[in-house]
Amino acid sequence: MNQIREAHLDNGLKILLKPVRTAPVATFWVWYRVGSRNEVPGITGVSHWVEHMMFKGTPSLGKGEIMKLINRNGGVDNAFTWTDYTAYFETLPSDRIDLAIRIEADRMINSLFDANEVASERTVIISEREGAENEPRFWLGEEVQAAAYKVHPYHHDTIGWKTDLQTMTRDDLYNHYRLYYAPNNAVVVAVGDFDADEMQKKIADAFGKIPRGRDVPQVKTVEPPQEAERRIVLRRPGPTSYFLALYHGPSASDPDFFPTFVLSSVLSGVGGMSFSGHGSPGRSSRLYRALVETGLATDVDCGFRATIDPGTIDVSATARPGVPIEKIERAIFAELEKIATKPITDTELAKVVKQVRSQFVYATDGVMNLGYWLGMLDIVASYKLYDTFLENIMNVKKADVQRVAQKYLTATNRTIGWFVPANGATKSRARKG
């Protein structure tokens, strides 16, 4: 970490530089502290839509020209939006990285938001949502997420509610862009084959002339403690039944984060930690052995991600056709009760530590992966967490895992969702709740 340089410009831009001289490649990222967490009813999905508009051109770079320039120079580029952030990146031969700096500085301040392009992209965004609606797990996840959060903006999905996508205006998008796309709300991350002094000067020259934006409204809403179990039963056409339970958990900066990470890993294995997200199915994990190996479910997972505000521990499963959803729920709850009432074994803890170590090394291999980790961690907590991540995992004790299981995996802290096929593919005695 002593090779990571942190710098700040007068306009509020934060810069993180990590020279890696192993190959003539560099990656350039701009992370904005804006996502669905910063949205209100009426404009849900606006952050994701703005991300799309950022590829539609500036006075000096026409529509589609950004990708053409990057491809022509042997690079790749993309962007994504999530609850807590929006990120843009380019990975190029290191002698061409100036192109990425020019592109990102230009669209931070000069994106056009042409009214015709906004109208065209509305169709694209709504089609993206409707494509997701073909998947039963999307419907279930959206309903359960909305029930789990009563007041916090984690209540809605990044794609937004369809009614908002149908009514949002060009001014809604542009005003969101002007407020949040500013140096004082951004983190630039550069990793690769470059000299840190030279790179810092290039970034300062390109971004330093962009004026500081208005102070961004802080998200002050705190989700109140959940006082009772909540249930959703969703009946729609589908091939089988699906189960989802969300338990309120800790934020990335909470001391409970790492014990909860280990808890999730014991239950379903260490998920994909790399930028691509691919990971092991956790065939030796508790939930896999209890549900998949016994023939109850085709898949099962316990997900837990780093978030700015307290997020959720997500337990999901897909029932094998003909298996009652009640049986899936009972089997999952039995495993959660076991881990809360009896300490995990030394073998389980050692296995998780070994898996995290190998996954972390893989996940941070290459300049693009490292750029992702440094930026993501700095948004949700601090980039300095990268240096202590493995140490924090290794410091987790069995008693810590049991403690957080008892703290978070409680009946009053969960929101349960059942997807029951309306076409009768799987029978259930559940009542609507």
3-state secondary structure 290-329: HHHCCCCEEEEEEEECCCCCCCEEEEEEEECCCCCHHHHH
Same fold yes or no, 5-207 and 230-421: yes
| 178-226 residue pLDDT tens | 999 999 999 999 999 999 999 999 999 999 999 999 999 999 999 999 9
Distance CA 366, CA 20 (A): 9
The CATH architecture annotation of domain 5-207 reads 2-Layer Sandwich (3.30)
pLDDT of residue 264: 96
**Token duo for residue 246:** 């969300």
Q: Listing from the earlier edge strand, what are the strands of the sheet with 186-192?
A: 5-8, 14-19, 186-192, 25-32, 86-93, 76-81
Q: Listing from the earlier edge strand, what are the strands of the sheet with 312-319?
A: 230-236, 414-421, 242-248, 312-319, 297-304
Distance CA 361, CA 274 (A): 9
Answer yes or no: are the C-beta atoms of 230 and 293 closer than 8 Å: no
pLDDT of residue 265: 95
Q: Which residue has the tokens 């000299």?
A: 195
Domain 230-421 bears CATH identifier 2.60.40.420: no
Residues forming a β-bridge with 149 = none
Residues in the chain, pLDDT under 50: 1, 425-433
- Establish how many alpha carbons lie within 13 A of residue 353's alpha carbon, considering only the half-sphere containing its beta carbon: 16
pLDDT of residue 362: 82
pLDDT of residue 432: 36
Q: Report phi then psi at 46, rounded to 5.
A: -65, -35
Distance CA 234, CA 236 (A): 6
Listed by start position, the domains of the chain span 5-207, 230-421
| 259-292 residue pLDDT tens | 999 999 999 998 766 666 555 557 889 999 999 9
pLDDT of residue 81: 98
**Pairing between β-strand 186-192 and β-strand 86-93 as defined by DSSP bridges:** unpaired
Distance CA 212, CA 395 (A): 41
Residues forming a β-bridge with 314 = 246, 303
